[in-house]
């Protein structure tokens, strides 16, 4: 067996051995969200009132970036996703104890 062929065989063998470990690590550490199906007309009005929204999976384990990177947020945010063959709809519910204090214009750059 040539040296080049032996190296290729070693790389393939190492990849086959490491791939299941890498795949397991990715699924354990990577958050995921399953899109719900759109079975009724979704009205894009900012109100997540349709039944599909409550039936869809929700993501809400978010951390803040400002003012304290990685800290628990002061208010909860929930994201739900719906999809059908025509498109994708994302619903975001941002809870806030003081909505009048929200700054609608800021000169700070996004993180």
Q: CA-CA distance, 14 to 7, in Å (whole number)?
A: 11
Does position 95 have pLDDT exceeding 60, yes or no?
yes
Does position 24 have pLDDT exceeding 60, yes or no?
no
Looking at residue 6, what is its pLDDT? Answer: 65
Question: In degrees to the nearest 10, what's the CA dihedral of 99, 105, 110, 111?
Answer: -40
Looking at residue 68, what is its pLDDT? Answer: 84
Maximum Cα–Cα distance for the chain, whole Å?
Answer: 74
DSSP tag of 99: G
Higher pLDDT, 57 or 31: 57
**How many secondary structure helices (H) and strands (E) does the chain include?**
2, 4
- pTM for the model stands at 0.63
- Specify the 3-state DSSP secondary structure of 94: strand
Least confident of 3-7, 19-23, 59-63, 89-93: 19-23
């Amino acid at each position: 067996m040539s040296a080049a062929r032996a190296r290729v065989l070693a790389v393939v063998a190492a990849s086959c051995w490491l791939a299941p470990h890498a795949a397991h690590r990715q699924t354990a550490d990577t958050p995921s969200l399953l899109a719900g199906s759109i079975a009724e007309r979704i009205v894009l009005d900012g109100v997540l009132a349709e039944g599909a929204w409550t039936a869809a999976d929700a993501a809400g384990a978010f951390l803040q970036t400002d003012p304290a990177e990685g800290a628990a947020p002061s208010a909860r945010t929930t994201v739900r996703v719906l999809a059908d063959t025509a498109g994708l709809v994302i619903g975001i519910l941002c809870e806030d104890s003081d909505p009048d204090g929200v700054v609608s214009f800021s000169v700070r750059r996004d993180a």
